[in-house]
Chain A
Amino acid sequence: MNSVGQGYAAAPVPRRAAKPEVWLWIAQRASAALLAVCVLVHLFTIIYAVRHGLTGEAILGRTRGNTAGLTFYIVYVLAIAVHAPIGLRSLCQEWLGWRSASLNWFVAALALALFVFGLRAAWAVFVAPV
């Protein structure tokens, strides 16, 4: 047997739980893929809204009771609440040198705040009665 590599068993790879950084990387990419669709729809929605009336009455007339719109923006808000804090975390680490555990608490609080206030905004526009 003279081929290189033959006759050797692959070294066993120890099974370890993925590090939090790996999960954050996956979450950042998965939310990015979702946001790619959401932002595109949002951009078209913005241009549609601008062309079809930007008064409170016109906007709420189109949105109130629109279940599909509400569902879409709940998904959008969720993706933002995952994506933006992870991006800001990288920025804080690389540009500010903030690498202590307090950064993770800050990022988690930011994610929660974005989610709650984003849902509140979606509720206000799509559900709440005038």
Chain B
Amino acid sequence: MKNDYRARNHPAWWAFLLHRLSGLALSLFLPFHFLALGQALQGEARLDSLLRWTEQPLVKFAEVTLLLLLAAHLTGGLRLLALEFLPWRDWQKSLLAWAAGAALAVGLAFALAL
């Protein structure tokens, strides 16, 4: 079979793509996250000015997106661990839906808390 879109248009392939892209996005974000937290070395005021910068709507939107990606990477990763290390059971077919639902719930909880 040709490895074209027909082979890929499957929930498990979309889950793979989401897991990989969320991992990439989180990896790109990490250096900035670490550097931002490192601002605390220069005192409370420096950290405060950075936190004020994050009050902008666009930054808040990016934060919610990142948190959603982190939750999706977590739940997608748990699904992979279950598939690889647990004996196959029928309920594992529903893991995709559980993973997506749990990630959305975390993202929503964060968005509401903001």
Q: Which residues of A are in contact with B by a Cβ distance under 8 Å?
A: 29, 32-33, 35-36, 39-40, 42-43, 46-47, 50-51, 54-57, 59-60, 80, 84, 87-88, 91, 113-114, 117-118, 120-125, 128, 130
Contacts and interface: CB of A to CB of B under 8 A. Distances in A.
Contacts, number: 96
A58 to B, nearest CB: 9
A40 B67 CA distance: 11
B27 interface: yes
Contact of B47 (A36, A40, A60, A87): A60
Given A87-B27, A91-B20, A47 B44 contact: no
B30 A124 contact: no
Contacts of B31: 113-114, 117
B110 interface: yes
Interface of B is mostly: helix
Contact of A125 (B30, B40, B48, B84): B40
Given A51-B113, A88-B27, A43 B38 contact: no
A55 B48 CA distance: 6
Contacts of B81: 29, 32-33, 36
B47 A59 contact: yes
